[in-house]
Amino acid sequence: MTNQVSKLGKAEGKLLFTISFLVLMIAITFIGAGRIDYWQGWVFNGLNIIFILLSYFLLPPELIQERLKPGEGMKRWDKIFFIVSVPVFFAILIISVLDGGRFTWEPRIPIFMVIIGIVMYTIGQIITLWAKKVNKFFSSVVRIQKDRNHTVCKSGPYHYLRHPGYFGGILYTLAMPLVLGSFWGLIPAVIAVFLLVIRTYLEDETLQRELEGYMEYTNEVRYRLLPGIW
């Protein structure tokens, strides 16, 4: 009975966190835009709601728990990454909605670029969700999950790239300003992508040193992030 109450409490906590984050995103979007008829903002938040719902329906509860509240062992350099990357993410959102929704700074993003952005954002989110679905160790932090018997994932998109989640993340990060109709939001988006590339390198080096079987996996799948390049 106690375990059931504990699990119920965790589920309610995860749901409350998700709803709170969505409310924050929506508030920033439309307060920043200064208007409620900002259709790009509705599309952006609608896509986020869809993929969050898909995550809750498709991903196992233990993975959702790991992503929202990771276990011990987060690398020190990853803590620095988190401290830097969170403000950069909000900079992308805030600059994009101020540009696309309120001030419409030059140069403007034509409608076909917004459509391309929507497609890119969707593809990036699908790839990332696919990676989460097949890899039960897809944590939100870099750590060797000894408490969860961490093993190497080789299925799904991991058959082609060692870090498909980051590849998807790059796609939807660069697409985010386009979806919101902003050119200037691409500046912090490029910074975010640069940080993701650094994190990919550091995580890959960590896994090669500390995760059993990962070095052999690097011989099977050569590319970390970009097919045919790196």
What number is the average pLDDT over the span 71-99? 95
Q: Which of 44, 184, 186 is nearest to 108 (CA)?
A: 184
pLDDT of residue 14: 65
What number is the average pLDDT over the span 6-29? 74
Question: How would you write the chain as a 3-class SS string?
Answer: CHHHHHHHHHHHHHHHHHHHHHHHHHHHHHHHHCCCCCHHHHHHHHHHHHHHHHHHHHCCHHHHHHHHCCCCCCCHHHHHHHHHHHHHHHHHHHHHHHHHHHHCCCCCCCHHHHHHHHHHHHHHHHHHHHHHHHCCCCCCCCCCCHHHCCCCCCCHHHHCCCCHHHHHHHHHHHHHHHHCCCCCCHHHHHHHHHHHHHHHHHHHHHHHHHCCCHHHHHHHCCCCCCCCCC
For 185, phi then psi, to 5°, come to: -65, -15
230 within some domain: no
**Chain centroid to CA 128: how far?**
7
Confidence band for 15, pLDDT divided at 50, 70 and 90: low
Neighbours of 97 (CB within 10 A): 27
pLDDT of residue 132: 96
Residues 124-177: tens digit of each pLDDT: 999 999 999 999 999 999 999 999 999 999 999 999 999 999 999 999 999 999
Contact 174, 95 (CB under 8 A): no
What's the pTM value of the predicted model, to 2 decimals? 0.91
Q: Average pLDDT, whole number, for the chain?
A: 92
227 within some domain: no
- Give me the percent of the chain exceeding a pLDDT of 70: 93
Give the CA distances from residue 1 to residues 18, 20, 60, 71, 195, in Å, rounded to whole numbers and listed in that order: 26, 28, 22, 24, 45
Identify the CATH number of the domain in which residue 74 sits.
1.20.120.1630
Q: Is residue 8's pLDDT more than 50?
A: no
Q: Is residue 3's pLDDT more than 60?
A: no
Q: Is residue 225's pLDDT more than 80?
A: yes
228 within some domain: no
Confidence band for 32, pLDDT divided at 50, 70 and 90: very high
Q: Is residue 6's pLDDT more than 80?
A: no
What residue numbers bound the domain in which 111 lies?
2-220
What number is the average pLDDT over the span 49-64? 91
160 within some domain: yes
Assigned token pair, 191: 């910074």
Contact 59, 133 (CB under 8 A): yes
162 within some domain: yes
What number is the average pLDDT over the span 28-54? 96
- The structural domain count of the chain equals 1
